């Protein structure tokens, strides 16, 4: 039966595509509901605000040290790698430009997203997954507290505020990291390095990074919470959904990054 | 809310998970202020019935009326209105793990009422006192024993002064002394509060102790709905089997049994 051999791979591709689209649809629905709860939720505003600010502390403020270190080191690394190539052209004075552009446009938002996935995306899935296993989600429902409004909305609001904030901080730390090499390895002082950075950057570079970071925040919250709600019964399921949250988030963040970078490239030139 | 007639009723109530029907068209009425025990073995559908009565499962067909609302066809906000008038004490407690015991009890009051924080604090302490946990207000749920978690869950279920209190397996997983304590607690509540109590359990002793009437479920059908005395006199074979704790017989039709090993070979 030669036809069968062609039909099977095609149908499995079709199934995978359908599943992927259904997943994205579910994600959009979850985020849409979480947004709707901001305006229509019977939950009290003041309490929702309290929960959102608590989440903002956990997602954002507590992540500052680790993000500072990582992006600082990445700044140094980018300067070293850039210098390796620039030196051959005698263009070592362009190190500040290379670091500034690669950090603000790409690495600042991306690295921030990856750290936030590791810290918070996984925690969302584990928290909601555990609550599902222990019937806490059912308990919220029977108390007429909607789990999405109660759990997802505060996380989403916190994420939308904290991701750009963390990204700006990451940009700054990355540039500072680059300046370490600039001062030690090239002929900069801290002052000339920073002013070279300022000259190299357009406001557009920073804005595109921040736009990306907001979309990353949506993806991380959506995937983390969706995987949490999709947790089956049993504690090993919580581990599965946590892993799925991290892997899927990283994949989607990079995919979204690609799409947005392409859009920015086409619409505004490099 | 003043309604004449039953406060909860099921009419030809069917619930299925996927292809498997759990409740096969059951009919029942629960009167206001009654204490009803839903008794049944594992897989009898008693937990599904409880989940349906609080709106966690949607009936596939039929109707389940709770406090004058048909949950099978209720909108989200109607369902929430019903839920503010009921309380459910979960089997494992289901206390929100990130909040203290006191915060758990305060949660529905904070969200659904406009009471002052100090009033809520007083109410929380009253509810915790009623279940004997006043000293544990600031403990996290993870620091409590199984029996204390159930008591705390009960305090939370009572927070909004519900008209109907549901209990899911109140004595499951507890030692006999603690379980007896929970039974006494339920009986005290029954005396003290004007409330309808629905308890789902498989514990015979506790069922006979607390119930006004008992509904016996078996494989998704109601096999008995009667007072405790009537139930003890019942000659229904499944009820006798349940009351006398006789295991299901493994010995069926020999030929059928052999067929299990040989079919589809």
For residues A137 and A45, which has the higher predicted lDDT (pLDDT)? A137
d(CA A141, CA B84): 10
> Within a domain: residue A8?
no
pLDDT of residue B1: 46
- List, for residues B117-167, the tens digit of each pLDDT value: 999 999 999 999 988 899 999 999 999 998 899 999 999 999 999 999 999
Structure token pair of residue B230: 């009537």
For residue range A5-21, what is the model confidence (pLDDT) as tens digits?
A: 788 888 899 999 999 99
Number of folded domains that form chain A? 1
ipTM exceeding 0.85?
yes
Cβ pairs A/B, distance under 8 A: 62
- Is the CB of A142 less than 8 angstroms away from the CB of B54? yes
Sequence spans of domains, chain B: 1-85+164-265, 94-161
The answer to whether B60 touches B76, Cβ cutoff 8 Å, is: no
What DSSP letter does each residue of B126-171 carry, written as one string? HHHHHTT-GGGTTS-GGGS-HHHHHHHHHHHHHTT--SEEEEESTT
pLDDT in tens, A160-212: 999 999 999 999 999 999 999 999 988 889 999 999 999 999 998 999 999 99
Nearest CA-CA distance, residue B92 and chain A, Å: 7
Contact residues, chain A to chain B, C-beta under 8 Å: 42-44, 47, 127, 130-131, 134-136, 138-145
pLDDT in tens, B217-257: 888 888 888 888 888 888 888 888 877 878 776 555 667 66
Residue of A nearest to B76 (CA): A144
Q: Which of B81, B96, B140 to mutate against chain A (most A CBs within 10 Å)?
A: B96
CA distance A226 to A22: 12
Quick check: is A78 in a domain? yes
Does the pLDDT value for residue B41 go beyond 50? yes
Q: Is the pLDDT of residue A1 over 60?
A: no
Structure tokens belonging to residue A52 = 């959102």
Query: pLDDT value at position A73?
Result: 97
Assess whether pLDDT exceeds 60 at residue A94: yes
Query: What topology is assigned to B1-85+164-265 in CATH?
Result: Rossmann fold (3.40.50)
* Mean pLDDT score across all residues of chain A: 91
Give the C-alpha separation, A160 to A205, whole Å.
19
CA dihedral B248, B253, B254, B258 (to 10 degrees): -90
**Number of neighbouring beta carbons within 10 Å of residue A131:** 24
Residue B265: which pLDDT band, with cuts at 50, 70 and 90? low
Residues of B in contact with A58 (CB under 8 A): none
The closest alpha carbon to B157, from B121, B188, B130, belongs to B130
Touching check for B108 and chain A: CB below 8 Å?
Answer: yes
On the question of pLDDT at A2 being above 80, the answer is no
Place of tokens 């595509």: A17
> Contact at 8 Å (CB) between B160 and B84?
yes
Higher pLDDT, A72 or B234: A72
Q: What is the pLDDT of residues B72-82, one digit of tens each?
A: 888 888 998 99
In 3-state terms, what secondary structure has residue B125?
helix
State which H helix or E strand residue B38 sits in.
Answer: strand B35-40
With H, G, I as helix, E, B as strand and everything else as coil, classify residue A9.
helix
B169-222 pLDDT, tens per residue? 988 888 888 888 889 989 988 888 889 999 999 888 888 889 999 998 888 888
- Expressed as residue numbers, the domain containing A146 is 14-268
Q: What is the Cα–Cα distance from B114 to B55, expressed in whole angstroms? A: 25
**Helix B146-158 / helix B101-112 crossing angle, nearest 10 deg:** 20
Q: What is the pLDDT of residue A148?
A: 93
* Chain A residue with Cα closest to B57: A138
Under 8 Å CB-to-CB from A145, ≥6 apart: which residues? Answer: A43, B107, B108, B111
Smallest Cα distance from B122 to chain A, Å? 19
Residue A31 CA to residue B20 CA, distance in Å, equals 32
Chain A contact set for B95 (CB, 8 A) = 136, 139
Please state, in angstroms and rounded to a whole number, the distance separating the CA atoms of residues B101 and B108.
Answer: 13
Closest approach of A116 to chain B, Cα-based (Å): 21
For B203, list phi and psi in degrees, rounded to 5. -85, 110
């Amino acid at each position: 039966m030669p036809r069968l051999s062609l039909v099977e791979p095609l149908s499995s591709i079709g199934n995978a595509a359908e599943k992927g689209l259904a997943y994205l649809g579910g994600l959009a629905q979850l985020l849409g509901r979480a947004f709707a709860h901001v305006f229509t939720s019977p939950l009290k505003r003041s309490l929702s605000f309290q929960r959102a600010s608590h989440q903002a502390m956990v997602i954002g403020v507590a992540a500052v040290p680790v993000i500072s270190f990582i992006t600082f080191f990445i700044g140094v690394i980018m300067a070293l790698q850039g210098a390796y190539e620039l030196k051959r052209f005698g263009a070592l004075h362009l190190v500040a430009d290379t670091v500034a552009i690669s950090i603000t446009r790409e690495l600042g938002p991306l690295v921030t997203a990856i750290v936030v996935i590791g810290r918070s995306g996984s925690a969302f899935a584990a928290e909601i997954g555990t609550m599902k296993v222990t019937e806490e989600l059912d308990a919220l429902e029977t108390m007429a507290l909607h789990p999405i409004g109660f759990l997802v909305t505060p996380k989403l609001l916190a994420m939308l505020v904290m991701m750009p904030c963390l990204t700006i901080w990451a940009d700054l730390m990355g540039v500072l990291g680059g300046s370490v090499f600039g001062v030690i390895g090239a002929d900069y002082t801290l002052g000339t390095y920073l002013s070279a950075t300022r000259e190299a950057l357009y406001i557009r570079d920073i804005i595109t990074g921040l736009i990306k970071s907001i979309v990353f925040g949506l993806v991380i919250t959506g995937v983390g919470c969706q995987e949490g709600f999709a947790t089956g019964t049993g504690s090993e399921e919580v581990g599965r959904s946590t892993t799925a949250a991290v892997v899927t988030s990283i994949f989607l963040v990079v995919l979204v990054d690609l799409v947005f970078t392409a859009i920015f490239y086409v619409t505004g030139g490099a | 809310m003043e309604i004449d007639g039953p406060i909860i009723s099921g009419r030809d109530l069917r619930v299925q998970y996927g292809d498997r029907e759990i409740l096969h068209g059951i009919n029942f009425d629960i009167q206001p202020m009654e204490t009803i025990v839903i008794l049944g073995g594992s897989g009898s559908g008693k937990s599904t019935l409880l989940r349906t009565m609080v709106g966690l499962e949607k009936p596939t067909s039929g109707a389940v009326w709770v406090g004058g609302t048909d949950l099978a066809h209720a909108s989200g906000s109607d369902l929430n209105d019903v839920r503010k008038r009921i309380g459910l004490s979960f089997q494992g407690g289901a206390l929100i793990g990130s909040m203290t015991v006191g915060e758990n009890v305060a949660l529905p009051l904070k969200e659904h009422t406009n009471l002052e924080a100090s009033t809520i604090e007083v109410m929380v302490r009253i509810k915790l006192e009623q279940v004997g946990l006043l000293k544990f207000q600031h403990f996290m749920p993870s620091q409590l024993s199984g029996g204390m978690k159930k008591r705390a869950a009960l305090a939370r279920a009572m927070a909004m002064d519900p008209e109907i209190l549901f209990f899911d397996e109140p004595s499951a997983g507890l030692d006999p002394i603690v379980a007896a304590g929970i039974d006494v607690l339920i009986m005290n509540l029954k005396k003290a509060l004007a409330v309808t109590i629905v308890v789902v359990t498989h514990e015979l002793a506790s069922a006979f102790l607390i119930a006004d009437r008992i509904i016996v479920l078996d494989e998704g059908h109601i096999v008995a709905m009667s007072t405790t005395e009537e139930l003890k006199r019942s000659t229904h074979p499944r009820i006798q089997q349940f009351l006398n704790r006789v295991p299901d017989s493994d010995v069926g039709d020999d030929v059928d049994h052999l067929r299990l090993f040989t079919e589809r070979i």
